[in-house]
Structure 1
Amino acid sequence: MTSLTRRLAATLGIVLALGAGASAHADEPAGDGLVKVRSAYPVDETIRRLREDIAAKGIMFFSAVDQQQLAAQAGITLRPSTLLTFGNPPLGAQFLTSNPYSGLDWPVRLLVLQDEQGTVWAAYTDFAWIARRHGITDRMPQFAMASRVVESITSTIRPK
């Protein structure tokens, strides 16, 4: 079963049992809705590739918040961590018209970070999880589209 199918099934309240002892892949959502995608590149190259793909798709880029830099300004040491925000207002606004509180999860947020082992990750909130969080049941095609887009964007950093 594909990752998208799992998310859509979860949104519709269908329980999918994993086999005994099985675990979700790193790029499948955890129970908290977090999807982690391992990058094949260093942090700066990961961010560059993601931003280039976002631009190539004609998606509006809003900001890049360098959390490591902000922490350093506060005298705190933090591994590389940058939050990218982007979106497609005609698509995102459809979620807001269904439930205005879903604006807490829009625009799309993609966190690029380096873990303690030096592995670079891009993480985002699973769209099916967002739908459940906000009780949105009337925008399934739009959530599926958002999932396909972010999966396409993050495919640019996956190991080959």
Structure 2
Amino acid sequence: MLIRLICSAALVAGALVFSPLGTAKAADDDGIVRVKSAYDMPETLKRLKKDFADKGIVFFSEIDQSKLAADAGVTLLPSTLLVFGNPLGTLFTTSDPDAGLDWPVRLLVCQDAKGNVWVAYTDFAWIARRHGITNREKEFNMASEVIASITSKVQK
């Protein structure tokens, strides 16, 4: 139930920040960027993972949260967490070891009750503020460009 509430809350908030141009910005208060996919869950996941491979990004894990929920007797709309990264991401943890809570990078792919698929991730500028990291602006900007490029693969 808790997982379903979290996913539902993320999707509702996503509707508030999704722009008609297909890009999304993080809400100042939660740091979550939400992008509406033009594809169903399987195709969205396939495109994202293909782009990781095409970019030479290390893909660590795919966690099917819906299956985990079902194993616990909980009904959850399709929800999958993708964990990926680049060894350079460890630079952020040299500025603040607690930044390891946000690395490797994670993308949450969720389907809402209307069948829309959303890709959500934590805004890198928000992560920098969260951890008080001020000496990695170039790296945070590069990470933001990479994640925008990855999520663009599921937009029209």
Structure 2 length as normaliser, TM-score?
0.85
Is it true that 1:153 corresponds to 2:146 in the alignment?
Answer: no
**Displacement after TM superposition at 1:24 (Å):** 4.7
**8 Å CA contact retained: 2:17, 2:34:** no
* Structure index of larger Rg: 1
Distance 2:81 2:68 in 1: 12
Corresponding residue for residue 136 of structure 1: 133
CA distance in 2, matches of 1:115, 1:147: 25
Of 44, 62, 78 in structure 1, the residue corresponding to residue 60 of structure 2 is 62
For residue 118 of structure 1, report the CA deviation from its aligned partner.
1.1
CA shift, 1:25, in A, is: 4.0
Structure 1: give runs of 5+ residues left out of the alignment: 1-22
Q: Distance in 2 between matches of 1:24 and 1:113?
A: 16
- Structure 1 segments (4+ residues) deviating >6 Å: none
Q: Distance in 2 between matches of 1:93 and 1:38?
A: 29
Judging by fraction of residues, say which structure has more helix. 2
Q: Which residue of 1 aligns with 2:72?
A: 74
1:22-101 → structure 2 map (5 Å cutoff): 24-26=17-19, 27-31=24-28, 32-89=30-87, 91-101=88-98
Q: Secondary structure at the residue paired with 1:68?
A: helix
The one-letter code of the counterpart of 1:72 is: A
RMSD, matched Cα: 1.0
Aligned residue number for residue 117 of structure 2: 120
Equivalent residue letter for 2:125? A
Can you list the C-alpha shifts for 1:61-104, whole angstroms capped at 9, x where unaligned?
00000000010011111000000000001x21110000000000
For normalisation by structure 1, the TM-score amounts to 0.83
The one-letter amino acid of 2:76's match is: L
> Sequence identity, in percent?
62
Partner SS, residue 37 of structure 1 = strand
Which among 98, 102, 111 is matched to residue 105 of structure 1? 102
Q: Within 2, Cα distance between the matches of 1:84 and 1:24?
A: 22
Report the CA distance between 1:54 and its aligned residue.
0.5
The letter of the residue matching 1:106 is W
1:15 paired residue number: none
Q: What is the CA–CA distance in structure 1 between the aligned matches of 2:114 and 2:148, rounded to whole Å?
A: 24
